[in-house]
Amino acid sequence: MSSIKLYSSKAKTKESFVPLDPLNVGMYVCGPTVYDRAHLGNARPVVIFDLLFRILRHQFGTGCVNYVRNFTDIDDKINMRAVETGRVISDITEETIQWFISDMDQLGALEPTSSPRATHYIPQMIKMIENLVGTGHAYERENHVLFRVRSFSEYGKLSGRLLDDMIAGSRVEVAPFKEDPLDFVLWKPSAALLPGWESRWGRGRPGWHIECSAMSKELLGESFDIHCGGNDLLFPHHENELAQSKCAHPQGSFASYWLHNEMLKVDGKKMSKSLKNFLTVNELLKEGVPGDSMRLVLMNTHYRKPMNWTSNKVVEATLTLRKWKKQTENIKSGSVSNSVIEALCDDINSPKAITELHGLSKKNDAASLLASAQFMGLFSEKSTPAHAYEGTREVDNEVLQLIKEKLIKIRSDALAVKDFRELDQFKNKILTAGVEVQMSKVSIELIPNESFDPLKLWSICDE
């Protein structure tokens, strides 16, 4: 059995994974704040840490891994959405949770062992806050309860930051009632129209960071194995989680290993609604992008490297999956390739695992290809149906026009230098996409035939 090696953000190095209890491996992943559709940035950690869940189950046994991924259903963004829409908060969060589950199903992600909602664990949060106040690690000011950061001597070691340098950080909230600018909110008062719960500090609601500490303690214990999330959560969220958890339960170790995935860009730019490159999983599914194609693209960059999402990668992934689907039709699944297992055991090296899948395809080892692809979450029953890879007969006139404009330019350049090799090569590519090219001195016509393949045409357009 291959040993698992993981790069721990806390240790700043790759370490051999040794669970606290091989019969009860604990894994916590910070989940979404549920007020809107899941975007690609939300999907990346789900897919990556789903691979980790799969490899842990393979190594230690399906029933021996406890995977917890939470839903944050208390948040100012949710409150704002309720005000904007006039809807009840619980209706918004329930709808969004179901959207998220459905979208992640389409990406082939397994259901976690537990999917706790923050609102279901308020008593546990209050109890933990009371503990921190009682031991001097937290204090009450103006109906707020704040964590006393300097009471935890190891604060900053997870993110590698110095205390005095943090004060200037943009994510540190400064308030006049704080003893120290670094102190963060554990409990805050709620206005009458906002969600709130009774506590010894008055009616209020928890701060963001205490949620995960209380839920992980309840479901995984004071000490568990792995804590995962996006790199943007490393500070302050995970730093604060670690501090308050260790102070509330000093006999525990909280998480032994910390894993963080890097951020995702679209066409080389930060994903943003203002740039009109904000992509949700649901929108892509509606546009006909198979869920498995999204999953393959997300897995094709190592999780610790920044990822760039492009339409060309989607086309390439879909063409690859179409090929693999055809190869494995009517084939009984075989054994998962050891080389795929070894790649995933090596710090979730999904790009290397995908390279191994390509190797199985080249060798025409269809049985192992199918088993290995399914192990990596592809071709699952809940994700993209087989017919998604059969292509579509619909002609995209906009893409045809772009191809035509490109062809006109290439022909013009060829006539100028009397060298037609590039023109011939480009025409052949168009022909392989099932589009006939009719050229005269005054016009060019592109006519799709019965073998028209829009995915191949899109790939030519993106070159």
Mean pLDDT of 136-159: 96
Q: Which residue, of 365, 390, 415, is where some domain finishes?
A: 390
Task: For residue 204, report the phi and psi dihedrals to the nearest 5 degrees.
Answer: -170, -165
Query: Residue 171 pLDDT > 80, yes or no?
Result: no
- Give residue 305's pLDDT: 98
Q: How confident is the model over 254-279, as pLDDT tens digits?
A: 999 999 999 999 989 998 887 888 99
Q: For the stretch 55-77, what's the b/e string if a residue is b when 16 or more beta carbons lie within 10 angstroms of its beta carbon?
A: bbbbbbeeeebbbbbbbbbbbee
Q: Is 84 helix (H, G, I), strand (E, B) or coil?
A: helix
CATH of the domain at 216: 3.40.50.620
Q: Which residue, of 261, 295, 314, is where some domain finishes?
A: 261
* CA nearest to 327, candidates 277, 386, 407, 385: 386
Q: Which residue, of 374, 390, 406, is where some domain finishes?
A: 390
Q: Which of 394-398, 436-440, 443-447 has the weakest average pLDDT?
A: 394-398
Q: How confident is the model over 70-97, as pLDDT tens digits?
A: 999 999 999 999 999 999 999 999 999 9
Please say whether the beta carbons of 143 and 191 come within 8 A.
no
* CA nearest to 404, candidates 375, 452, 446: 446
The tally of domains found in the chain comes to 3
In DSSP terms, which residues pair with 72 in a beta bridge?
33
Going from the C-alpha of 398 to that of each of 100, 304, 409, the distances in angstroms are: 32, 37, 17
- CA angle in degrees (0–180, nearest 5) for 159-162-165: 110
Query: Residue 42 pLDDT > 90, yes or no?
Result: yes
Do 27 and 146 lie in a common domain?
A: yes
For residue 277, the enclosing domain spans 265-390
In DSSP terms, which residues pair with 154 in a beta bridge?
none
Do 345 and 408 lie in a common domain?
A: no
Mean pLDDT of 329-334: 90
Please say whether the beta carbons of 320 and 296 come within 8 A.
yes
Q: Which residue has the higher pLDDT, 330 or 351?
A: 351
* CA nearest to 69, candidates 97, 39, 96: 97
Do 53 and 109 lie in a common domain?
A: yes
Do 360 and 423 lie in a common domain?
A: no
d(CA 260, CA 24): 22
- Give residue 167's pLDDT: 62
- Give residue 441's pLDDT: 80
Burial status of residue 330 (CB atoms within 10 A of its CB: 0-12, 13-18, 19 or more): exposed
Do 281 and 368 lie in a common domain?
A: yes
Confidence of residue 386 (pLDDT cuts 50, 70, 90): very low
Do 88 and 232 lie in a common domain?
A: yes
Do 183 and 313 lie in a common domain?
A: no
Do 114 and 205 lie in a common domain?
A: yes
Do 419 and 380 lie in a common domain?
A: no
Do 88 and 163 lie in a common domain?
A: yes
Do 292 and 228 lie in a common domain?
A: no
Please say whether the beta carbons of 317 and 300 come within 8 A.
yes
Mean pLDDT of 231-251: 97
Note the pTM of the prediction, 2 decimals. 0.85
d(CA 297, CA 69): 23
Do 291 and 214 lie in a common domain?
A: no
Query: What is the four-CA torsion angle of 162, 165, 166, 170, rounded to 10 degrees?
Result: -150
